[in-house]
Each structure stands twice: as structure tokens, then as C-alpha cells.
Amino acid sequence: MGYICDFCGDQPSLVYCRSDAACLCLSCDRNVHSANALSKRHSRTLLCERCNSQPAFVRCAEEKVSLCQNCDWMGHDASTSNSTHKRQTINSYSGCPSSGELSSIWSFFSQPDSAGESACEQELGLMSISENIENTSWDPTVNTISHNIAVVVEVNDDCNVDKGSGWTRTSIPEHRPAPQLLDQAAGSTYTSLPKFCPQTKYPGLSEDDLYDDFNIDEVDLNLENYEELFGVTLNHSEELLENGGIDSLFGTKDMSAADSTCQGAVAAEGSSIGLVNAIQPACSNAASADSVMSNKTDSILYFTTKHAHSSLSFSGLTGESSAGDYQDCGASSMLLMGEPPWCPPCTESSIPSATRSDAVMRYKEKKKTRKFEKRVRYASRKARADVRKRVKGRFVKAGDAYDYDPLNQSRSC
DNA sequence: GAACCATCGGCTACCACATACACCG
DNA sequence: ATCGGTGTATGTGGTAGCCGATGGT
């Protein structure tokens, strides 16, 4: 991955598609993501110009380079003079915008667009950039470029921003000195780290809004290891629930969705050793853990419960994963690279180190034997499978009658 | 409590074909 | 050692079908 487009293998890659885990040139980006309605929803962003393997997170105005979170941290460490560089968040996009449209998303972006209007725009005449700040939740059925807005906030200003929607998107790594963000209307989508003020209600925030942005299905949900890892049961969660923890977070007693999310909260992965000591179980209902133990992607949701002075981290890291593999997922890198930014509810000495390391080792071993997620190894094959005609879900020979065409979504017979 | 039935969810085989890979000359 | 040709294995996604778990009667 990197340097050369994963699809055509010819042009230099420019954008990164997280869904496909692929680096693509603009042309292939359009081709691939105009294939069908689902692919149009893929969130893409610029490729990090330093490592050429991860999605860019910020744009350094001084160096005029787009950087992933890891490279940003490396290059703008507080101990260096570069830490004062002005940086702006890089927005992700979906749909298949033209370079002109991309320029409107990224003010620094300029790329000759020989193709003129994007392919799907020509076909559909539907593409438009939605800059509706209020409409930060997107309807996947609406064929617009999801141009989600990030509200830049002060690191500790958790609860007094964006009160209208009740929560805030921010692309700022919270434990880092906030970059001096330039004036930027929009922010990234997938790097957003939602914050919650559990003691507050959220007028105007529907559950759909909440859960959509949680990306619950992408959260690492792995509860069954909790006991073996922590050597304690989940009793704390009931306390938390009684204290309004989960209900405050989700504003609902319906644990079907909340379960999934809070199970992610206790899914402290072995690679995040700091987390092991730091977090408390956030919910009960362990019975459903088995049903949600699949690890989907590298998403991370980082909740700041300012009221309780505690934080819950939702990490999708796998035990075998390196920091680099997940440097694009915000706080996950943070967990790997530095001290946990929260105040541990239990101290380091509360769990004997031998027991802990023992538990971590057992946890890692068990995890090795488990296959959590399906990783797309070949983006080109995925792209082809995405557009291949089918009959009852099965691929059909080219030219044969089909009952489903992802391109036309029409029947041939 | 046991037996039966309906429902639900998880898992897997299936398909075509481009591509990765190994092997040989 | 390198290159080109050939054959085989792999991987990709949506669906049907199987099977076990669960709940109601």
C-alpha cells in the first residue's frame, strides 16, 4: 500500500479509502467508488504524504504536507520547534467528487481534473457537497458527498460546545497540545472523536444520530476476555449503571445498542496495557458478550465523562496489531504511544503486576487463536467483486443472465 | 419437566474471474 | 541469474441453506 495506486498500479496514489484499505489515485477513486451506492458511501481522505500508507489526519500549513496522526505526532512533537506549526484538519469525503469539489473541501487541494465532472456526477447529476453544518448526521440513502463538519473545540471544553446537537466532533487528539487549527469549515468524519457529557440531555439528538456516529458495528466488542484479563467480574458495571453512567451516555434503557457499545468499553485490548489498569467495566449484561465479540475495524470511540472524571475507551486494536496499523484511528495510537490521558480509577498497584502480565499473556494467546475481522487483502479484487453481476448472490459468467447488477441494480431478464 | 414447533441468528458453500504465485524451460 | 510462459491457488461479496439456540405452547 502506498505510493502507487492499489487499483491501477500505475498512477501515484493520492487518497486513502478506509473501507477498502486501499490507496488510490483520483481516477481510480472515482471509478471504484462510483460503482454502486454502497461504495459511494466509503469515506476517503488524503493519503499521508510522509508514510504513504495511512489516511491523512491534518495538513501542516508550514510544511505543506498532509500527515496521518502518527506522522503528525512524530513531526510535531511538543519537544520540537515544529509543534507550533499551524495545522488544519483534513476532511474525509464520500461519493465521487471532482477535483474541483475536492478543492472546496480541502482549500489546499489542487489537482488537474482532466476528467472534468466526476463520472457519477455526470451519470446521476446528483452529486453535491453538503455543507449543512447542522446536518452532521448523514442519511446514507441521500446521494450527497458527506461533508461532515468538525467543530473545533478546546481540549477541556467538553460540555459547552455544540449544545444544540449535544455532542461534538473533534479531530484533535485530546491528550496532545491542540494544533493551531486554521480556519476550516469542515472536519474529518472518521477521525472524529465524539465526546459526551453524560449528565446532560441532548435535545435534538436522536438515537439514530447517536448510534450512527458511534459506528457501533465497527467498535471492537470483546467482552468475554474481561474476566480472564482483569481477574474481576463485571459487578462494577451495575454500580455505574445505577449511577446513571450508561443511561446518561445513551439516554436510553434499551441496552441492545448500548450493550454493544459499552461492551466495547470493557474491551481493553492487550496492546493497550495502560488501559488494562485504567478502565472500569462500564456495563453489565455480560450474557450478550458472546454475541458481540467480533472485532470489526479499527475504530475507536473515546468518551470523556467529565462529570465523573473518568473516561471510557473503545478500542478496536487487536493484540497482534501494531501501532502503525492503527495510527489512523485517533486515540488508539494515543493509547499505544503515551500515557493514558485519563485518571485511572484504580491505581497501578491495585493489580499485582505479575498477575496482570499473566492475564495479558493469556489474553494474547487466546486472541491469537481467534480470527476477528475480515481484512481485504486485495482491494482490486474487492473492487471487481463489488461490480460483478450475480444470481442469488453468486457470481455469474460475463454475458450470462443475471438478477443483480451492482452497477445498474436492474434485472437482465 | 418433556416434547413439539416456530423463529432467529450464525455460519458456510457457492459462484466467476482477475491476480498472485510456483514451477519449468 | 533473469525472463517469459504455463498451470494452479487464492480471494472477493451477496445469497441460500443448514443448524443450533431460544422461546412459546
> Per-residue pLDDT for chain A (413 aa), expressed as one digit of tens each?
446 777 776 677 788 877 777 777 787 777 777 766 667 777 788 888 887 777 887 888 888 888 887 788 777 766 667 777 777 877 777 777 777 777 777 777 765 444 434 444 443 333 333 333 333 333 333 333 333 333 333 333 333 333 333 333 333 333 333 333 333 333 333 333 333 333 333 333 333 333 333 333 333 333 334 333 333 333 333 333 333 333 333 333 333 333 333 333 333 333 333 333 333 333 333 333 333 333 333 333 333 333 333 333 333 333 333 333 333 333 333 333 333 333 333 333 444 555 565 665 555 555 444 444 567 788 888 888 888 888 888 888 888 888 777 766 554 44
| CA–C1' nearest nucleotide, residue A377 | C11
Q: Give me the A residues in range 32-71 that sit within 7 A (CB) of strand C.
A: 38
The CA–C1' separation of A373 and B5, in angstroms, is: 36
Task: Name, in order, each residue with C-beta under 8 angstroms of A403's C-beta and a sequence gap of 6 or more.
Answer: A390, A391, A392, A411, A412, A413
Q: Assign residue A285 a region: left if phi > 0, alpha if psi is -120 to 50, beta otherwise? A: left
Q: What's A195's DSSP letter?
A: B
The CA–C1' separation of A9 and B18, in angstroms, is: 14
SS3 A3: coil
Per-position b or e across A244-258, b if 16+ CB within 10 A of its CB: ebbbbbbbeeebeeb
CB atoms within 10 A of CB A217: 13
Looking at residue A179, its pLDDT comes to 38
Task: Name, in order, each residue with C-beta under 8 angstroms of A400's C-beta and a sequence gap of 6 or more.
Answer: A389, A391
Looking at residue A371, its pLDDT comes to 42
Looking at residue A375, its pLDDT comes to 72
- Please, which positions of strand C sit below 7 A from a protein CB? 11-16
CB atoms within 10 A of CB A350: 10
- Consecutive H or E run containing A305: strand A301-305
Q: Which residue has the cell 470483546?
A: A222
Looking at residue A256, its pLDDT comes to 33
Q: Which residue(s) pair with A121 in the sheet?
A: none
Q: Give me the A residues in range 268-307 that sit within 7 A (CB) of strand B.
A: 291, 294
Phi and psi for A325 in degrees, rounded to 5? -60, -25
Looking at residue A284, its pLDDT comes to 33
Looking at residue A360, its pLDDT comes to 57
Strand C at less than 7 A from CB of A377 = yes
Looking at residue A344, its pLDDT comes to 36
Cα(A255)–Cα(A286) distance, integer angstroms: 11
The CA–C1' separation of A291 and B9, in angstroms, is: 10
Q: Give me the A residues in range 366-405 that sit within 7 A (CB) of strand B.
A: 378, 380-381, 384-385, 388, 390, 393-399
Entry pTM: 0.35
Q: Does the CA dihedral A100-A101-A102-A107 come out positive or negative?
A: positive
Looking at residue A66, its pLDDT comes to 85
Q: Across the beta sheet with A180-181, what order do the strands follow?
A: A65-67, A58-60, A86-89, A180-181
Looking at residue A400, its pLDDT comes to 81
> How far, CA to CA in Å, does A8 sit from each of A16, A28, A113, A236?
14, 7, 17, 52
SS3 A67: strand
Phi and psi for A314 in degrees, rounded to 5? -110, 100
Cα(A7)–Cα(A94) distance, integer angstroms: 18
* Cell numbers that stand for A147 in this block: 461533508
Residue closest to B13 C1′ by Cα: A394
Phi and psi for A65 in degrees, rounded to 5? -135, 150
